[in-house]
Amino acid sequence: MRFSVLASSSVAAIVGFGGTLALIIAAATVLGASQTQTASWVTAVCLAIAAASAYLSIRYKMPIIAAWSTPGLALIGASSGFTINEAVGAFIVTAIAIILTGLIKPLSRLVSSIPTSVASGMLAGVLVGFVLNAAKAAQIDPMMVLPLAALFFIIRLFNPSLAVIAVLIGGVIFALVTGRSPSLPAPEISTLEFITPSFHFSAMVGLALPLYLVTMASQNLPGFAVLRAFGYEPPTGPALQVTGLVSLVSAFFGAATSNLAAISAALCTSPDAHPDHAKRWLTGPVYAVIYVIFALFGASLVAIFAVLPPVLIALIAGLALSGPFINAMTLALSKEKERLSAVVTFAVTASGISFLSIGSAFWALAAGLLVVALDYAQGKLSRKTG
């Protein structure tokens, strides 16, 4: 054990948790979850992340780091018309689908075959609303938003991973000093609350399916890629089975899907974590312990966010998702032949339309794949006639 292991694990956990906790609050608010249900969500997902990270890292002696799905939370936060009970039902189905993906290789290959342009276009369409809301926040409370936005852009010049954390800390202090928020609530230990799932067709198609695809395409597949980039050969099937299993258990307590980390995983897999390639797996158990601590105080953290100005939550969420949005747009438009399908998918998703009680993410996926199929058919016809 080296100090670098502790440092890398701590930074990865703090950035992953603090930088996107606002997204859980936003998603829970959209679903109509109570404060205790939101606290249960945070507690359960932290325990799921800790369990998956510790088990996979120790079992396979490599730094396999779990996290919650940032794009998935954005997808939930951009949805409409679903209750927390329907969402729990969708989380359960999503977890089962991830487990089956780990067990059935053809299913994994099928998900991997979805064009990057379509998957990234759907993700960008989900994220753009949060980015725009961060910009709109400047008009609502410029005295608060503009200095914090400036702080974000200055900090990211030196340490991009800590820029959102700086805004969060600075925003809390500013809100308390200026009276925009009352005093912070007293600390309390978290508890879990069982939430009865409700399985509705519209939630399965409009929430579970897009959540599964976004989690696989934007989290799990990049997570495997990060491990391979640093010289590891991850156990693809078992990793999906374990993250799916912990997601299944935590779903009954309100938690959305857990998955492999990508950005925070890079902090734990690089030589900065440990010069010995064979000992970087130690970051996994340390990372897990930190998430257990987060789980214990999840209720207090949710209570703090509950007293913060909504404009600050919107700003933090938008800034946290600006990087993923840029990456999604870059991937969506990277191939010239697939740009039309990417734009169609992005536009339908961003429109927020709902048809037959099914949200825009599903229709965007269908529209994007249809354009891809038409382009493929046209190309095949052109080759025959040529």
How far apart are the C-alpha atoms of 274 and 6, rounded to whole Å? 10
228 C-beta neighbours (distance < 10 Å), count: 12
Q: pTM of the entire structure?
A: 0.77
Asked if the structure places residue 80 within a domain, the reply is yes
How confident is the model at residue 359, as a pLDDT? 67
Range of 34's domain?
3-335
Residue 213, both tokens:
């695809």
Low-confidence stretches of the chain (pLDDT beneath 50): none
Residue 276, both tokens:
């010995």
17-36 residue pLDDT tens: 876 788 888 899 999 999 89
Asked if the structure places residue 349 within a domain, the reply is no
How confident is the model at residue 159, as a pLDDT? 77
Asked if the structure places residue 18 within a domain, the reply is yes
223-247 residue pLDDT tens: 887 788 778 888 888 999 999 999 9
What three-state secondary structure class fits 354? coil
Asked if the structure places residue 66 within a domain, the reply is yes
Asked if the structure places residue 362 within a domain, the reply is no
Asked if the structure places residue 54 within a domain, the reply is yes
| CB distance 240 to 98 below 8 Å | yes
Asked if the structure places residue 211 within a domain, the reply is yes
Integer-rounded Cα Rg, in Å, for the chain is 20
Task: Please state the domain count of the chain.
Answer: 1
How confident is the model at residue 357, as a pLDDT? 62
Exposure string of 167-180, with b = 16+ CB inside 10 Å and e = fewer, is bbebbbebbeeeeb
Asked if the structure places residue 300 within a domain, the reply is yes
Question: Helices then strands (H, E): number in the chain?
Answer: 20, 2
| CB distance 25 to 299 below 8 Å | no
How confident is the model at residue 331, as a pLDDT? 81
CA 69, 75, 78, 80 dihedral sign is: negative
